[in-house]
Structure 1
Amino acid sequence: MGSPDSGNISPSEAGETADHGARLAALRAELARREVQGFLIPRADEHQGEYVPASAQRLEWLTGFSGSAGTAAVLPETAAVFIDGRYTLQVRNEVDVDLFTPRHLTEEPLSAWLAEGLKPGQRLAYDPWLHTEDQVRRLEKTLAAAEAEAVALSDNPLDAVWHDRPAVPQAEIRAHDLSYAGRESADKREGLGKALTKQGVAAAVITLPDSIAWLLNVRGGDVERSPLPLSFSVLHADGAVEWFVDAAKVSDGLAQHLGNAVSIQAPQRLGEALDRLGVQGAKVLADPATAARWIFDRLRAAGAAIEQGADPCQLPKACKNETELAGTRAAHKRDGAALSRFLHWLDSAVAQGQAVTEMAAADRLAAFRGEAGDLRDLSFDTIAGSGPNGAIVHYRVSPQSDRQLAQGELFLCDSGAQYPDGTTDVTRTVAIGTPDKEMCARFTLVLKGHIALGAARFPEGTSGSQLDSLARYALWQNGLDYDHGTGHGVGSYLNVHEGPQRISKMPNSVALQPGMIVSNEPGYYKTGAYGIRIENLVAVTESSRAAGEERAMLAFETLTLAPIDRRLIVPAMLTADEIDWVDAYHARVRAEIGPQLDGEARVWLEQATAPLQAG
């Protein structure tokens, strides 16, 4: 084994805590060699997406934190991990707090920590591929106030000490058939090209893998749980695309699928393409919220006129066409049958006194989905949290944390799947044995919020942040709340988390539009005891205008089809309209899922979806 100064630290040396300590020491030694006093390690790759391949899991390698969002900051004597409210419990379970201080990124922000820890004249380094233009601008402002300097490095110092770093992924890229996509790639490219021309923009740099997958009607497998090909592209105003991707990943026949207007080039030639745009004096669109600082630095150095604006693919990608909506409805019917079979299996196993663990439950659910047909992958690692583990919002079961589902507890199962015609994401919280009164009361409060949002009608132009309080109101009236967003966008056989729309306390100016798919997932979490979340996916639809109504209205169509645990509902806490909503939803589940089941599972579904008035 090498010493920290040598930069060769084996993952197998000593214990987990000692290993992360050695990795941190090795990184500090490398930073000292480069004459910088600090370094930022985000959970990000060059594409700034949520889905990161093993080769870019630098944050987890250094700290042990495996959440889907976070940043570590390392200074000579101190280090910290910054996470949001979803991960306040998880970070302490995974990270050695003697090495890295956990901090809530809004209550204890990175800017305050850096202002306190950096001295005037010190240099904080960052990898310009792993931070967006917006992020670096905020960093530079923070450091200027501290009289410190932000330094962009040409290569990542952590990679220099991560000697067994996994290889960059090389999954095959395939065509996404028109029967699923609903719109030809050429039509998408030409439409966006005309929009660029109208803006006076010659080209747009596209860096988000899901945007490129949507634009070119392709799918890949470079990351787990989402069919993404990692690549970059430049979309020109005439609809032509330069696609920077390893040719070894391109499947046979894909070039024909793409057509002559799409040229495949080596990833290393992206810089040359940006230079050419600069030489031409072109006006180039790049998204400061999603594109790496490296892109902006290269364009500026080449003399390009940069138009800062949103990724042009995001909004049209979010507004699903009729083919995509029909596909996701079909996917949810298959998925609902698989989930109902699982819930029946779970109820039967518990009733028979079988020992069921979280991992066993997650594996069984995955098996049911596999039997449903057309399964490509899960859409994320199943969150199977029993009892206190359910209170960890983004809990990931492991052999170390796995526990048996116990009588008198709640079991929170958040899961989803990737099918070629749609992406699913559903959470059900179920009682194991007999729940107590508090559990039922708080479940019903969450249900009231779920119904309020799902049944909402709202004017055109309304954003998700304007609707968020509908889902929280019943909880707020009882002094309760939850620390995550209420809804996120969902892709069409793409990312399970998709922008630009969302339903959240955080301000968001993007109006909800017909065709957008969002989740409806209010929750409640009692630390050390249990968690509750009820999640359906919904599609934004046009609402018919009644006599006397003056404005065009929108509404939600519920896509998810699976029973909500009646044992946890307190009917006396619901209004007549809310009871009608539950009964109507369960009648629809019974009608659409029932024919896919048989035997005992069909009988179970009839009972699980019986009207609330039936007791």
Structure 2
Amino acid sequence: MAFQSFDEISQPSLGPSRATALRGKLAELGLDGFVVPRSDEHQNEYCPPSEERLSWLTGFAGSAGIAVVLKDQASIFVDGRYTVQVREQVDTSTYTPRHLIEEPPEKWLGSVLKPGMKLGYDPRLQSMNEVERLRAACEKAGASFVAVKENPVDAIWTDRPAPPLAQIVLHDVALAGESVASKIERLQAKLREQKLDAVFTNDAHASAWLFNIRGGDVSHTPLPLSYALVPAEGQPTLFADGRKFSNAVRDELSQHMAIAEPRQIEAVLAGSVKGKAVRLDPAMVVEHFATLVEQAGGKVQKGGDPVALLRAVKNEAERAGARAAHIRDGVAFVNFLAWFERTVPGAKETEISVAEALERFREGTGVLKDLSFPSISSAGPNAALPHYRVSHASNRAVTPGFFLIDSGAQYVDGTTDITRTIAVGEVSPEMKDRYTRVLKGHIAISLARFPKGASGAQLDSFARAALWEIGTDFDHGTGHGVGSYLSVHEGPQRISKLGTTPLEPGMILSNEPGYYRVGAFGIRIENLVLVEEIAIEGAERTMYGFETLTLAPIDVRPIELSLLTQREIDWLNAYHAQVRETLGPLLDEPERQWLDEVTQAIG
């Protein structure tokens, strides 16, 4: 079974006609423009095909972006990961690409909207925070921000796919490490502690974790699309399409919660939240549900979703599962690397054939459920695109230089994500310098020690210091949170300038600094790490550090040894010894010998 497709999903040539059709529909509705986010009602990173409105309209296939279509112009906003990709996938005579961070939509709207103009939006697709920002920009310009009942993109999308109906399955409590009853009890205690009467969430990850359920409604993340209302006292309600439940699953879940259809959310809220304080996460809950709570007489209490922090801290069973998954995945990845070294020099391998080979090695575990995202298999200048997605149209041969492979797997006991940059033949002194500086940043995070209460924002610069020394940087965060057989990109924990959530033992994050020379090459080295408490002799505070979960050799051939300190060399040698000792006994003899060779001590 193939878990990824290499078909070209972007159709830039259709952008102009679809924009024209949308403008025609807007004219019928009396609107001067419309906002098209890359999101669904659950604010998912991966949306089902029926929700890919931005991609269908513009051709842009990235995981984050937003378009604004006005009568006489249109813009598409993406972050630093997609500034090159967007120009390749979108008709730029129709949509002007803009930087989502440097020139956000609200700033641009302030310069183009005129008094009296009406800008439409779908309140089911945009978070409370987004609506607030965009409404303020409209009002400042003398324009109005108008909610629509029916999305005009849907009206012109005549061959829109049907919504998904994958079966909901129970996640084994031995893997979850905690029963549904216990999770509900802990959440309700948090609500009472914060003097909240209830929490409503449209985050399907929250429902999946809280109720120990998984599904298959979106690619690469085992999600059942669902919503939840959890009161501080009494029974929660899970909202999901009834066709997704077998009788056995429904019977099991009904012991802990009521089960209702999504169309019943309004009625359930109307009968249960009047006069009550309901927590809504304004960064995640779409405005539609905030409106329903208010119409039902509830008091919207804005704040972080308490489920997110509970989910982020992995219990002992989840930590053990993550370690087991990474050993299994490490064996598959070492088999792949050994294949790569044997095969690539004498064969005409391509980005696609390499990605397919890695998937085969993971399938060889016999327990692969899915990839955790489409593999970023990239040669030459394609590797300079941090979120490159190879297609038959973009597929490049593996040629001398750097080859970057960023990939991950979903196993029932854990989610993996690993990036390695491999030297193919000789690489230039500049490439060695940049590779070594990225490695220095990776090691700096791996060795970091930090006090309880420190956040990812305080660690982010550790990964960048060696690049800053020569006047360069990378345009993505250093690390994202990772779920337990859930999303490979999980919040609220992260290592970035925006990572303000304190890091706690049990949180899993990625450690992935990079460097990208547009049009030439890209470098990224990524392991997953687990926050743990550490003992420091004489320490006056509780101190934390990282346990590295990912086990796979790091290519030492492009290292400029003179740039590494002895401490950095010692870390790399110790890491490679751990990889060799852990995975070696699990490999066949040829691969074991290869691993022994590539993990020998340096320096």
What TM-score, normalized to structure 2?
0.97
- The C-alpha deviation readout for 1:66-105, integer Å capped at 9, x for no partner, is 0000000000010011000000010011011001000001
2:521 to 513, 522, 530: 530
Q: Give the Cα separation in 2 of the matches to 1:217 and 1:203.
A: 20
| Counterpart check, 1:216 vs 2:211 | yes
What TM-score, normalized to structure 1?
0.95
**Which residue of structure 1 aligns with residue 541 of structure 2?**
551
Q: Give the Cα separation in 2 of the matches to 1:580 and 1:447.
A: 13
- The C-alpha deviation readout for 1:551-593, integer Å capped at 9, x for no partner, is 1100000000000001111222111111100000000000111
- The C-alpha deviation readout for 1:23-56, integer Å capped at 9, x for no partner, is 1111000000000000000000001121211000
Asked whether the equivalents of residues 77 and 105 of structure 2 are also in contact (C-alpha less than 8 Å), the reply is yes
Asked whether the equivalents of residues 174 and 219 of structure 1 are also in contact (C-alpha less than 8 Å), the reply is yes
Note the aligned Cα RMSD (angstroms). Answer: 1.1
**Which residue of structure 2 aligns with residue 606 of structure 1?**
596
Asked whether the equivalents of residues 446 and 523 of structure 1 are also in contact (C-alpha less than 8 Å), the reply is yes
**Which residue of structure 1 aligns with residue 422 of structure 2?**
430
| Counterpart check, 1:283 vs 2:274 | no
Alpha-carbon distance, 1:16 to partner: 4.2
**Which residue of structure 2 aligns with residue 382 of structure 1?**
375
**Which residue of structure 2 aligns with residue 10 of structure 1?**
none
**Which residue of structure 1 aligns with residue 554 of structure 2?**
564
Asked whether the equivalents of residues 186 and 239 of structure 1 are also in contact (C-alpha less than 8 Å), the reply is no
For 1:495, give the aligned amino acid.
Answer: S
Q: How does 1:167-566 map to 2 (within 5 A)?
A: 167-238=162-233, 240-278=235-273, 280-351=274-345, 353-407=346-400, 409-506=401-498, 508-546=499-537, 548-566=538-556
Asked whether the equivalents of residues 450 and 534 of structure 1 are also in contact (C-alpha less than 8 Å), the reply is yes
**Gap runs ≥5 in structure 1:** 1-14
SS of the residue corresponding to residue 398 of structure 1 reads coil
**Which residue of structure 1 aligns with residue 157 of structure 2?**
162
| Counterpart check, 1:121 vs 2:113 | no
Q: Give the Cα separation in 1 of the matches to 2:234 and 2:177.
A: 19
Q: How does 1:40-55 map to 2 (within 5 A)?
A: 40-55=35-50
Q: Give the Cα separation in 2 of the matches to 1:26 and 1:149.
A: 23
Q: Give the Cα separation in 2 of the matches to 1:17 and 1:404.
A: 24
Q: Give the Cα separation in 1 of the matches to 2:233 and 2:137.
A: 41
Q: Give the Cα separation in 1 of the matches to 2:477 and 2:497.
A: 7
Alpha-carbon distance, 1:310 to partner: 1.1
| Counterpart check, 1:593 vs 2:583 | yes
Q: Give the Cα separation in 2 of the matches to 1:109 and 1:285.
A: 27
1:583 to 557, 561, 573: 573
- The C-alpha deviation readout for 1:315-344, integer Å capped at 9, x for no partner, is 010000000000000000010111111111
1:545/1:274 CA distance change after superposition, 3 Å: same
Identical columns (%): 51
**Gap runs ≥5 in structure 2:** 1-9
For 1:370, give the aligned amino acid.
Answer: E
For 1:471, give the aligned amino acid.
Answer: A
**Which residue of structure 2 aligns with residue 8 of structure 1?**
none
Q: How does 1:75-86 map to 2 (within 5 A)?
A: 75-86=70-81
SS of the residue corresponding to residue 337 of structure 2 reads helix
Asked whether the equivalents of residues 175 and 217 of structure 1 are also in contact (C-alpha less than 8 Å), the reply is yes
Asked whether the equivalents of residues 105 and 134 of structure 2 are also in contact (C-alpha less than 8 Å), the reply is no
Alpha-carbon distance, 1:196 to partner: 1.3
Runs of 4+ in 1 over 6 A off after TM superposition: none
Instruction: Provide the aligned length of Structure 1 versus Structure 2.
Output: 594
1:17/1:450 CA distance change after superposition, 3 Å: closer
1:18/1:587 CA distance change after superposition, 3 Å: closer
Alpha-carbon distance, 1:17 to partner: 4.2
Alpha-carbon distance, 1:601 to partner: 1.3
Alpha-carbon distance, 1:312 to partner: 1.4
SS of the residue corresponding to residue 200 of structure 2 reads strand
Asked whether the equivalents of residues 190 and 239 of structure 1 are also in contact (C-alpha less than 8 Å), the reply is no
